[in-house]
A and B are shown apart, each in its own frame.
Chain A
């Protein structure tokens, strides 16, 4: 069965600084990988996804993530954080099989300091 680990529960970054949120997955085949963001009191919004091709994927709001099969990782990055990026971020893995649910990590809360 697949699983996702987000090692960092809470991260604080200064506004304008770079950001990297870590995600490690466990799955025997090629995974389908996702990053979602949740603002306070809101639902989850897809930031980006990887399922094949170029291992560096671009998403919305200036985010990108790199799939590294050798490290079983799919870390999320942003070169310059804005105060509006403060939110909870979830990494998720899927099998790509029709209709199967995604497995989510426990999330990383991002705080942005001025």
Chain B
């Protein structure tokens, strides 16, 4: 089972350039999330989507945009990268249907390491 696939796994980007991090899931989960992980700061939520066609802002959304055209894909775009966006980015998903068996557990991809110079 693939679960969540992120691409690229690693990228070096010049400041001012744009970049899209891709995320695809095959679990048919309704909810998807983008987190960034920085040393000493843990994981912080960038954007989320509860279902296809809807998105929302997390804790650190500035400089990032997302779209959710379908259930499986949730790309994260940096329109004009800055060095402070150097980080490891994790995509995650969860089953958002209400029910006793749904505990909100997140399933994570392997991460995308982005360096902005």
Contacts and interface: CB of A to CB of B under 8 A. Distances in A.
> Are A and B a genuine interacting pair, yes or no?
yes
B31 to A, nearest CB: 4
Nearest to A105: B42
B87 interface: no
Contacts of A56: none
Contact of A43 (B51, B97, B110): B110
Sorting the interface of chain A by its residue count into under 10, 10 to 19, 20 to 34 or 35 or more gives 20 to 34
A90 B42 CA distance: 8
A101 B42 contact: no
**Which secondary structure dominates where chain B touches chain A?**
loop
Interface in A62-96: 90, 92, 94-96
Interface residues of B, number: 28
Contacts of B43: 44, 90, 104
A28 interface: no
Contacts of A9: 40
Nearest to B56: A101
B104 A43 contact: no
Contacts of A49: 103, 105
A55 B92 CA distance: 27
A67 to B, nearest CB: 13
B96 A99 contact: yes
Interface string A42-65: 111110010100000000000000
A101 B103 contact: no
B41 interface: yes
Contacts of A43: 90, 108-111
Contacts of A105: 42
Given A32-B104, A43-B110, A98-B104, 5 more contacts: A43-B109, A96-B103, A98-B98, A100-B104, A106-B40
Interface of B: 30-31, 33, 35, 40-45, 48, 50-51, 58, 90, 94, 96-98, 102-106, 108-111
Across the A-B interface, the 4 shortest Cβ-Cβ residue pairs:
A99-B96, A106-B42, A99-B50, A99-B31
